Structure 1
Amino acid sequence: MSKTILYVRVSTSEQTSDHQLEQALKAGFQVDEVVTDHGTSGVTTKLEEREGGKRLFDMLREDDTLVVRWVDRLGRNYQDVTDTIREFIKRGVTIKTVINGMVFDGASKDPTQKAVRDALIGFMAAMAEAQAEASKEAQRAGIEHHKAAFPEKFKGRKPAFDRGSFEEVKAMLQAGQGHSAIAKATGVNRNTVIRIAQDPMKAEAALIKWGM
């Protein structure tokens, strides 16, 4: 039986997985299952190397439908996104976007229509990568400005955890342990555990700033 699977990638500053599911449902999609990657870079990590991405490659079969908010959820690397979409199309999977209702599949046998489809895939993947590069450049410029203007404040508050306890907290979160149990086992404050769970990349960045 064919399935409709929503893939959600949640980065530090973007929408939550619940929000992306809500958008898909409001757009009229009947979602059978949601596959999520939290705090994973779409630039440096290929879809097939992410935990949720691996599940997609294992799950998707002919006649299944893959729904994403936009192609940038699959990734922000041109080659990875185009390779991924074409691989799923070869499998007989239909890919649909919530934004603008784009549809990519292998239904058409007309070479001209296939060329238009492939060109559109390439264009959208290129836009995703270009937007990522622009965001990185703006972020770098902002960091340099703050370094120059507020050198003594740039590091921010020292983390209330070290590298070892951070890795312990992450491992226990991935194992599905509750916040209170993790706090008790690691000695890390429960509120800090919650902040790490909500934004692990921010916690990682804080450790790096302090050379930890």
Structure 2
Amino acid sequence: MKSYGYARVSSRDQNLNRQLDALQAFPLSPESIYVDKCTGATFDRPRYQALVRKMRAGDVLVVKSIDRLGRNYAEILDQWHSLTRDLGVDVVVLDMPLLDTRGTSTEGRDLTGQFISDVVLQLLSYIAQVERENIHQRQAEGIAAAKARGAKFGRPRKQPPADWEGIRDRIACGELTQVEAARQLGVCRNTLRRWLEEDQTAEPSCASR
């Protein structure tokens, strides 16, 4: 029997220390702890999948909290049952002592204890998904509020150069093609077309050219 830890954060700049400290205090060696830095929406994560392939019946998987395992209600339940029933792996959730399958089995465990664990698992899995949805809602509301205040998102638009008017007039008078102009300016044709569309009201003076 071997014990493994699993830790996860959603982005590369989030801190793993609290999870790693808790797992090592279990105790687990650093070499037996697998870490992913990606979303918990699905279980298609490289290190988690590598860990599942490595584990055998009787091994123990330790996570600090159920939301580190995942944040999708249905997938957490499916994955839990796949680990405990199909693989025969025990799961320990450090933040919730009731979610500890060690020393029990589906056939032999106390019926009341099994019922309580199943209810707790479903409740925590549901909470994990609701929190994930709330995070997305708060992000969307924050972006909408910022846009309403005039905040700009994404890469700033490239602005025409100082000599743009002369180049624009040469294009309008047929002295310069859009391809040639884009090459001279070092921009893509879409950017050039946008500048031309924004300048549609300008009247080129071809007679004096």
Q: Indicate whether the TM-score tops 0.5.
A: yes
* Distance in structure 2 (CA, Å) of the matches to 1:52 and 1:70: 17
- TM-score, normalized by length of structure 1? 0.63
* Distance in structure 2 (CA, Å) of the matches to 1:53 and 1:122: 21
For the residue of structure 2 that corresponds to 1:104, the secondary structure is: coil
Are residues 132 and 124 of structure 1, via their aligned partners in 2, closer, same or farther at CA, if it must alter by over 3 Å? same
Is contact 1:94–1:103 with CA below 8 Å preserved after alignment? no
- Aligned match of 2:10: 11
Are residues 36 and 129 of structure 1, via their aligned partners in 2, closer, same or farther at CA, if it must alter by over 3 Å? same
Are residues 138 and 4 of structure 1, via their aligned partners in 2, closer, same or farther at CA, if it must alter by over 3 Å? same
Greater share of helix: 1
- Aligned match of 1:155: 154
- Aligned match of 1:34: 33
- Aligned match of 1:97: 93
Counterpart of 1:146, as a letter, is A
Percent identity, aligned pairs only, is 26
Q: Following TM superposition, where does structure 1 have runs of at least 4 consecutive aligned residues deviating by more than 4 angstroms?
A: none
- Aligned match of 2:49: 54
CA drift at 1:148: 1.1
* Number of aligned residues: 151
* Distance in structure 2 (CA, Å) of the matches to 1:37 and 1:154: 28
* Distance in structure 1 (CA, Å) of the matches to 2:113 and 2:96: 19
Is contact 2:98–2:120 with CA below 8 Å preserved after alignment? no
Is contact 1:82–1:121 with CA below 8 Å preserved after alignment? yes
CA drift at 1:154: 2.7
> What 5-or-longer segments of structure 1 have no aligned partner?
159-212
- Aligned match of 1:179: none
* Distance in structure 1 (CA, Å) of the matches to 2:90 and 2:156: 47
For the residue of structure 1 that corresponds to 2:88, the secondary structure is: coil
* Distance in structure 1 (CA, Å) of the matches to 2:18 and 2:113: 34
CA drift at 1:11: 1.2
- Aligned match of 2:60: 65
Is the radius of gyration larger for structure 1 or structure 2?
A: 2
CA drift at 1:14: 7.5
- Aligned match of 2:142: 142
Counterpart of 1:41, as a letter, is T
- TM-score, normalized by length of structure 2? 0.64
CA drift at 1:131: 0.7
Is contact 2:99–2:121 with CA below 8 Å preserved after alignment? no
> What 5-or-longer segments of structure 2 have no aligned partner?
158-209
* Distance in structure 2 (CA, Å) of the matches to 1:112 and 1:157: 60
CA drift at 1:23: 2.5
Counterpart of 2:39, as a letter, is S
| Counterpart check, 1:128 vs 2:128 | yes
CA drift at 1:119: 1.4
Q: Deviations over 1:181-202 (max 9, x none)?
A: xxxxxxxxxxxxxxxxxxxxxx
Is contact 1:71–1:124 with CA below 8 Å preserved after alignment? yes
* Distance in structure 1 (CA, Å) of the matches to 2:19 and 2:12: 14
- Aligned match of 1:113: 113
